[in-house]
Amino acid sequence: MSEVEASAVPEIFETRKRKILAELSVPDAEYTDLSPKGSVDEGIRDLIHDINTLPGLVTTSSCAGRISVFLEGRKKQSKPQEDQERQFVASGGKGAGKWLFVTHDPLQGYDTPRGSDSSGEDSNQGKSLHELFGMVPGDGRPPELNKQGKAPRLVRFHFEPLILHIMTATLQRAHPVLSAASSSGFRESGLQSLRCLEGDEGSSPIVAVRSAGLSLESVIGYCEDSDVDDMTASSEPVIRSLVTEEYLQMLVAISNERFSINTERKERFRESLLTLFSANRGPKSKKKAQLPGWEDFEARRERMRAEGLTRKKLLQDQAKSNEALQVTEEP
């Protein structure tokens, strides 16, 4: 009998899992969470479903990977003794900052110079990345401190790879999750907390599946705040770029490549995890876990490639329709 089979699933874990699965079963129109998107990413739903069918495992939070543009916030100071507090929020997006742009899919049509599409079509759909990110082009010169001596709030471009938190019933059940994550390229994965080592029967180890090596971050602009407090400003501040359109295209191209690597690692993790749990159920199931709707890596990659091409064609057709409509409406 394997270690996974030998470790019984505590009832307290089953209770937690039932609650989480009940929340995930809410219809998309009603489901919300704390992420900027407010729902489970489409690109990771199949993986979450497969994990949650395994005994002793349940997902608690996830991100399939994303491109984001974030404007830092500035905290108000009400007392002199608070001078040592941080002036802007972490670049992850929590606090008083603002998301300028977020997508959990590659940015198709923006990773090549405008007008260079071999088909002769405007693949950028008539919109620059500066416009998409809500920025005004600048001269590349960094801003000075304002009259209050404060540094500007920065605009950061991010590519963040998949991150997944999986609650496990026992340490024995956490082991194959860590093994599958490490062998699939998520080398920074680990236990989120060591409380489970203290012998507390109510502790459910949480494994964080992550890979910092694929991350990308670049400062691309700043906010032209007024000299008065942000809350009393009469108009929206100007968000000015520090880089060129070509530089943004380069960042998008790099991020799109990393999206592809991220997807491959995600599929390897899925296949490895299902295989490990299948092997722990007995010699008859050592090949692969044949869960409902299960696909091998190659079949899934081909399906996702076909879906991506279909989405790209739909966007191009829509761009053509918009162009034709504009021409028709011109005097």
Contact 174, 204 (CB under 8 A): no
pTM, two decimal places: 0.70
CA distance 53 to 100: 36
- Reported as a single tens digit per residue, the pLDDT across 70-122 is 999 876 655 444 443 333 334 444 457 899 999 999 998 886 665 555 444 44
CB 104 within 8 A of CB 41: yes
In this prediction, residue 30 has a pLDDT band, given cuts at 50, 70 and 90, of very low
Beta strands in the chain (DSSP E): 57-63, 66-71, 98-103, 153-160, 163-168, 190-191, 206-209, 216-224, 238-241
Higher-confidence position of 181 and 313: 181
Percent of the chain with pLDDT over 90: 43
CA distances from 196 to 5, 20, 42, 84, 205 (A): 19, 20, 32, 35, 6
Segments in 25-164 forming alpha helices (H): 45-52, 129-132
Place of tokens 């977020």: 102
Rounded to the nearest angstrom, the gap between the alpha carbon of residue 277 and the centroid of all alpha carbons in its chain is 26
pLDDT computed for residue 198 by the predictor:
60
**What's the CA gap between 137 and 208, in Å, rounded?**
39
